[in-house]
Chain A
Amino acid sequence: MLADAVKPLGLTLKLWWRFWPQLVAIVLLGIVFGDLFMQVAARTAFLNHMAGLALLTLVALTQLIVTVAMFQTLLPALPATRAAQQAAHDESSGEARGGSARLARMVTVALLPFFAYYAAWGFLGDTVRQYSRVALDMAPFGESAGNVLDVLDSRWLVFSVAISWLVRRFATTMQKRGGARSFWQIVVVICETNWIFIGLYVISRWKDEILGWIMSRNLFSVLQATADGMANPVPRAFAEPMVPVEVTSIDTTTKLIGLFFFMLLPVIWLVLAALIYGYDVRDDKELMRVHQRVERLGERYRAIPKFLRDFAEHFISGYRSRYLPIANGVRITLSSGVVLIVTLIVGYRLIDWLAAWAWLGMTRLIGPHDLDTWQVLSEGVSLLFGSPFQDSSTGILVEPLRICFLAAILETAFALPTRQTDDGAQLSDPKGRVEAHNV
């Protein structure tokens, strides 16, 4: 059991030692380009607020490409993951693809889940906030040109999404005609990113507004009071006395919710990693095996008349092939055993924790200086360890380690003996035979 927990850690260090120059170089390129695009977006915003927001997409896209490229760099050292990819690839007998087209496709696959994660964790807000800060810095003193976010509330936003939809359509047509395919692929990716980015941000704003509206009704407070009363019936029965803040405690529900989200982030990152590697593992047979009910659903779907299936397929096939890997990734993650999941959560948080302490230790080591000097020094420290105070900043010592750790966990999950024997013993196992028959 201990060996299961230690194995990914050893593999992490091995991966890091083998690939650190490439990984650090990719992180550095990401930082330079992210900064560059942020400046370009802010400068463009002064000409046109909408264009600035559209260019901001590139900042988020850079982060995704950096993540995908880092995982892709590690692939040669992950035999079990590659074997799984190869097996799925043979089964689906898809056409062989070149390196850059492959990267573009992987970026496309990871686009929506990555941005969903990005928005859910508030990084989208961080990026938008950073952008508005840069624009405010550039705005001449006393002029209102710095308020670049007013477009988010305007109807022209729909117009911008429509433009990117048209550009995307044009690009796909050009792609079909042939000639500079990878260029058009990139255009398609950027357009898709654009509307996902803008769409998600707008939805998250609307969500706040809707919540605000609900909160302002009396109905909600009645519901909340009822829920509170049910959760903690006894303490609510008495009038609460004044309690000094030192003796107050956080109630169990809040603690559990906090713990859940604390544990969720590493798991989400593992799913993203599985998604990036799992692009080729788009085999719905594996997924169907998960559960009898899903299996039956699959059977029923096949029983539908073909013309109806074609009609449905026309709309969902693209998304089905795209998001099957997610479902597969989740399945692999959850079936890889408690020890591995705990190792993932603890290890991931340990890296975060160590990075934060390294940041603090470094500041103690450097010692006190005046504010302007410290501003310069802190940029150096943050470049190494990432800043706990800046919005989604990545350090060149921490980020490669984090990616190596995630890849190591995934590799261990793919290499687990239970999984291998599962696949191998399917035909000899009576249950397995039934499954094979059904599929």
Chain B
Amino acid sequence: MTAQDLVQQSGLGERKWRRRSLWALLLLIPLTFAVEVYDSIKALLADNDLFARRVAWGQSVHFGGSDWKLTDLRGAFGMANLPPDSVPVLADFSVKVGDPDLQKLWLGCKVMLIDAAGRRWAPTSAVTLKAPGDVQTCTSAIFSGAKSGDTLNLRETFLVPKDVTKTIRPAVGLASERPHFLLFQLEKD
């Protein structure tokens, strides 16, 4: 075999490997990205409320082992000592406990308000309004020792700008159900 042949052969081999590698890249790039990103995607899905399940007004939905129903959403207009153009909003839920293991199923409970633009508001403790004795928040209900069949009254207080009060809808997310969350519709929807 002459040197010329060798060079030609190695050239052919190189072209073959170049083509093979190009095909392999089609598979390898997505594969490597998937391997690298797997843990982050898992964390993203487990920690965030991404996909809304719409709940019609007056409807009760099974979520995190219990039946959730929005009973009221109202603004407390005319309160003093608040920043201008802000309104406290109260969201009331009635929850019929199914599976009583709330410490596991309701972990990371997050009640929020979402407006038409997708902005979210978390509950506030800046405003305190008088409530009947049996009203709890989502987190305090976890440790209430509720049994299967009990009905819990939950209330969360928010402080939102006045101009979004027309479009805000209450939503509930639980760690056991993420990335899905409940988005409650109002009577007028």
State the A residues within 8 Å of B (CB): 19, 21-22, 24-25, 28-29, 31-32, 35-36, 76, 370, 372-373, 375-376, 379-380, 382-383, 396
Contact = CB atoms under 8 A, between A and B. Distances in A.
A372 B47 CA distance: 8
B29 A375 contact: no
A24 B20 CA distance: 12
B21 A22 contact: yes
Contact of B36 (A29, A31, A372, A373): A31
B18 interface: yes
A22 B19 CA distance: 9
A383 B17 CA distance: 23
Contacts, number: 59
Contacts of A396: 29
Given A19-B18, A24-B21, A32-B35, 9 more contacts: A22-B21, A25-B24, A25-B25, A28-B31, A31-B35, A370-B48, A372-B40, A375-B43, A376-B44
B37 interface: yes
13 contacts: A24-B21, A24-B25, A28-B28, A31-B32, A35-B35, A36-B35, A76-B11, A375-B44, A376-B40, A379-B36, A380-B37, A382-B36, A383-B36
B22 interface: yes
Contacts of B18: 19, 21-22
B22 A376 contact: no
Contacts of B41: 376
B29 A379 contact: no
B37 to A, nearest CB: 5
B10 interface: yes
Contact of A379 (B25, B28, B33): B33
A379 B21 contact: no
Nearest to B22: A21
A29 B35 CA distance: 11
B162 to A, nearest CB: 26
A373 B48 CA distance: 10
A264 to B, nearest CB: 31
Contact of B25 (A28, A370, A373, A375): A28
Contacts of A375: 40, 43-44
B14 interface: yes
A371 to B, nearest CB: 9
Contacts of B28: 25, 28-29, 32
A35 B40 CA distance: 14
A22 B36 contact: no
B43 A372 contact: yes
Contact of A76 (B14, B22, B31, B43): B14
A20 to B, nearest CB: 9
Nearest to A30: B32
A380 B40 CA distance: 11
B17 A379 contact: no
B10 A35 contact: no
Contacts of A31: 32, 35-36
